[in-house]
Amino acid sequence: MPVHHPSSDLLWSVAAGQKTPAVHKIVLAHASMCSACRVQLDQLEAVGGALLEDEVGSAMSEGALDRALVATAAEHGMGTPAATPDWINSVPAAVRELAAEAARSPSHAVSKGAPSLNLMNAMAANRETIELLRIEPGKAIAAHAHDGTEYTLVLTGAFRDQRGVFAQGDLAISDARHTHRPVAEPGETCMALIATTAPLRFKGPLGLLQRVMTLGRG
């Protein structure tokens, strides 16, 4: 049976601020759509807050807050946003802002592929990305393996892979143990937010093209 929710260890890591920005966003987005995970995350954050109250604080250097805000804006590609597409209204309200951020990112929002398969990069930090995927019913993502971990939050519709079906609100986590070919289920268009901690490794002709392009950049 597929696992549709983050583990307790992952929720604890997010509550403790130990995960990267992209993974943190994806898990919080899932919790906004899953009441059980939201309750568990709130409990873990409360425990972490109680522990922090026992810690001795350190004074911030002058201008530290301003520098942090500037660095955060640069990391997330903030600036004058592009127009938000109409289809964003089909995304659940709880995660609409995050999906819109992915769709209108001024520096990274690029449509890749046919209209039935759109992938827009919203954030890049080191080797991690957070992207918005739109795939029409019956269409598939090319088979791929993972060098890192891939976190896929289903916003609308559903997809199926070798593990089973992942529907709205589900969080599918794939790592080096998984090679899969997600296919959108019949009915509603499948839209998902995907965080990856390392590039995917595609199979077949697309994988060959990926390797050629990588060698060309070397």
Q: Are 106 and 82 in contact (CB under 8 A)?
A: yes
Average pLDDT over the chain reads 74
Which residues, 6 or more positions from 151, have their beta carbon under 8 angstroms from its beta carbon? 22, 23, 26, 27, 171, 172, 173, 194, 195, 196
What is the percentage of the chain residues whose pLDDT exceeds 70?
63
Q: Which amino acid is at 49?
A: G
pLDDT on residue 212: 45
Instruction: Give the mean pLDDT of 85-114.
Output: 64
- The pLDDT tens digits of the residues spanning 117-175 come to 444 454 455 667 778 888 889 998 888 888 888 999 999 999 999 889 999 999 999 88
Q: pLDDT-based confidence at 115, cuts 50/70/90?
A: very low
* Side-chain half-sphere CA neighbours of 160 within 13 A: 7
Q: What angle do CA 194, 96, 128 make, to 5 degrees?
A: 25
pTM score, two decimals? 0.71
Residue 131: enclosing H or E segment and its boundaries?
strand 128-135
A 10 A CB-CB count for 5 gives: 18
| Whether the predicted pLDDT of 177 surpasses 60 | yes
Query: Under CATH, to which class is 86-217 assigned?
Result: mainly beta
| Whether the predicted pLDDT of 80 surpasses 50 | no
| Whether the predicted pLDDT of 112 surpasses 70 | no
- Domain residue spans of the chain: 86-217
